[in-house]
Amino acid sequence: MSAQSPTVDNASALIGFDELVGLLHAVFVKHGTSPQVAATLAHNCASAERDGAHSHGIFRIPGYLSTLASGWVDGQALPVVTDVASGFVRVDAGNGFAQPALAAARDVLVTKARSAGIALLAIHNSHHFAALWPDVEPFAEEGLVALSVVNSMTCVVPHGADRPLFGTNPIAFAAPRADGPPIVFDLATSAIAHGDVQIAARKGERLPPGMGVDSLGQPTTDPRAVLEGGALLPFGGHKGSALSMMVELLAAALTGGHFSFEFNWADHPGARTPWTGQLLIVIDPSKTAGQSFAERSQELVRQMHAVGLRRLPGDRRHRTRAKSLEEGIVVELDALNQLRDWAS
């Protein structure tokens, strides 16, 4: 524990957002990333922790470090951006992380979206080990609509099949609105994210029914049975399964990345990151006819509240964010001490 980290109780402490970004930056650089890659990943990971997106915050750091140590991913990769067409940008992430590839292409993507009304970013040869909302929310904060999909690693049984094939394949969407933070959702197309299964296993908790199967394909609520030879199910039966298939097509087939079943960690003990692809679509809604898009999205929110809706997707995150920025981010003391060890 450091003098700057007031304790909450015996098990947890408070840390400021900037301090956490700095600590994570030091951890990434110490474990082989370039300072630029470290800056992007540290901001991403600290943002998840700040917003209470725990399955993709500090919890992920051991996976990042073991993957870097295994040589599976290049923490120093320099993304190569290609301006393919008026509304199409491609990035070869160079076997590095997806977020620095997005950062490298961001300016040209936004310029194209504002000029043509829509632009697409296809990232391949990339590793995405994080929450997806940080990739789309900033576009909506500057008035754009953004949609992203990324595929992961085989652990989901397509609806009606016998064995896993798809990844947990999230879809994230962000849109501006007039009187509040952007409307954002970010959801795995599996019934539960793989990260949450790991967290349940670590805490000794059961999963809700309908999330996964064991190694014999039988329904189970035991997260260890899912992780040790079992698999997850798509959310919503055939509907989630179709969306997961779409994510494979857009994030891998369209980008030139690997499908979730097309890579193998076997030769790289410690590898944890999916080597796949990611697609982003950015739309400039100022090109739409009529009232401003942000006013229209605000009206939709107003009407949802009027029929009794209390929680929009993103509300929980924004509430947690406000509290974290006001009081500090609550972090387990053991995890904080571990980060300090790794950074030093």
Least Cβ distance, residue 243 to ligand PYC (angstroms): 14
**Interface size with ligand NDP, residues (CB under 6 A):** 28
CA 332, CA 247: separation in Å to the nearest integer?
A: 34
Q: Which amino acid is at 73?
A: V
Which of the choices ligand NDP, ligand PYC, none does residue 150 contact, using the CB cut-off of 5 to 8 A by kind? ligand NDP
Q: Which residue in 33, 99, 154, 168 binds ligand NDP (CB under 6 A)?
A: 168
Applying CB under 6 A, which part among 15-23, 53-61, 202-210, 250-258 lies near ligand NDP?
53-61
> How many CB atoms sit inside 10 A of residue 108's CB?
16
By three-state DSSP, how is residue 243 classified? Answer: helix
Q: Is 88 exposed, middle or buried (0-12, 13-18, 19+ CB in 10 A)?
A: middle
Least Cβ distance, residue 96 to ligand PYC (angstroms): 16
Q: Does 186 bind ligand NDP (CB under 6 A)?
A: yes
Name the active-site residue from 34, 55, 66, 292. 55
- CB closer to ligand NDP, 89 vs 155: 155
Name the active-site residue from 56, 124, 127, 258. 56
CA 327, CA 334: separation in Å to the nearest integer?
A: 20
Q: Is 196 a catalytic residue?
A: yes
Q: Does 193 bind ligand NDP (CB under 6 A)?
A: yes
Least Cβ distance, residue 166 to ligand NDP (angstroms): 11
- CB closer to ligand PYC, 97 vs 293: 97
Q: Is 55 a catalytic residue?
A: yes
- CB closer to ligand PYC, 244 vs 297: 244
CA 322, CA 328: separation in Å to the nearest integer?
A: 10
Q: Which amino acid is at 134?
A: P
Q: Which residue in 12, 315, 333, 337 binds ligand NDP (CB under 6 A)?
A: 315
The contact set with ligand PYC (CB under 6 A) reads 55, 129, 152, 168, 188, 193-195, 274
Which of the choices ligand NDP, ligand PYC, none does residue 90 contact, using the CB cut-off of 5 to 8 A by kind? none
Asked whether the CA dihedral 56, 57, 60, 65 is positive or negative, the reply is positive
Q: Is 341 a catalytic residue?
A: no
Which of the choices ligand PYC, ligand NDP, none does residue 53 contact, using the CB cut-off of 5 to 8 A by kind? ligand NDP
**Can you read off the two tokens belonging to residue 246?**
């779409």
- CB closer to ligand NDP, 196 vs 284: 196
**Can you read off the two tokens belonging to residue 95?**
């076997």
Best CA proximity match to 68, nearest among 101, 106, 102, 95: 95
**Can you read off the two tokens belonging to residue 252?**
């891998």
**Can you read off the two tokens belonging to residue 184?**
């954002």
Which of the choices ligand PYC, ligand NDP, none does residue 43 contact, using the CB cut-off of 5 to 8 A by kind? none
Say if CB 299 and CB 100 are below 8 A apart: no
E strand intervals along the chain:
12-15, 80-85, 88-97, 118-127, 145-150, 171-175, 183-187, 212-213, 219-220, 231-232, 275-283, 329-332
CA 277, CA 269: separation in Å to the nearest integer?
A: 22
Q: Does 187 bind ligand NDP (CB under 6 A)?
A: yes
* All residues at 6 or more sequence positions from 87 whose CB lies less than 8 Å from its CB, including other chains: 112, 113, 116, 118, 119, 120
Q: Which residue in 130, 144, 279, 294 binds ligand NDP (CB under 6 A)?
A: 130
Best CA proximity match to 224, nearest among 246, 242, 240, 200: 200
Which of the choices ligand PYC, ligand NDP, none does residue 112 contact, using the CB cut-off of 5 to 8 A by kind? none
Q: Does 188 bind ligand NDP (CB under 6 A)?
A: yes
- Work out the angle between the directed axes of helices 61-70 and 17-30 (0-180°, nearest 10): 20
Least Cβ distance, residue 152 to ligand PYC (angstroms): 4
| Catalytically active residues, by annotation | 55-56, 196
Residues that bind ligand NDP (CB under 6 A): 53, 55-56, 128-133, 150, 152, 168, 170, 185-188, 192-193, 195-196, 274, 311, 313-317
